Amino acid sequence: MSDLFIFSTTKGKKEDTLLFQSSKYRDEIFFKEHNKSSLQKIYNKAIDFAIKENVQYIVLVHDDIILENFSHEKMLENFEKYDVLGVRYN
């Protein structure tokens, strides 16, 4: 397991999400497909998984966003500076 765990959930298939369609980092994002649970429940399960696997950093992301100019190095730098990674909207 890597130091960074990126997780998203969707009601349908991951291939139908904006996140999957727009991302060149598809292989680095874990999707829970056909989700019927609340976001709180499914995100808590992802957090529990990350803790069990000794993941240092976890990113919980909606399926309707685009990750632009994403890099592990930059993200890890930001995690070291801030408790919560800030997102800028244009």
Give 47-66 pLDDT, tens digit per residue: 999 989 988 888 899 999 88
Which residue segment(s) compose the domain that 12 sits in?
4-81
Instruction: List, in sequence order, every residue forming a beta bridge with 9; answer none if it has no partner.
Output: 32
Task: Evaluate whether residue 89 is within a structural domain.
Answer: no
Task: Evaluate whether residue 90 is within a structural domain.
Answer: no
Task: Evaluate whether residue 12 is within a structural domain.
Answer: yes
Give 18-55 pLDDT, tens digit per residue: 999 988 778 888 999 999 999 999 999 999 999 899 88
Task: Evaluate whether residue 60 is within a structural domain.
Answer: yes
- Is residue 13 a contact partner of residue 33, using CB atoms and an 8 Å limit? yes
Report how far apart the first and last C-alpha atoms of the chain are (Å, whole number).
Answer: 33
Task: Evaluate whether residue 20 is within a structural domain.
Answer: yes
Task: Evaluate whether residue 75 is within a structural domain.
Answer: yes
pTM assigned to the model:
0.77
Task: Evaluate whether residue 31 is within a structural domain.
Answer: yes
Task: Evaluate whether residue 69 is within a structural domain.
Answer: yes
Structural domain total, the chain:
1
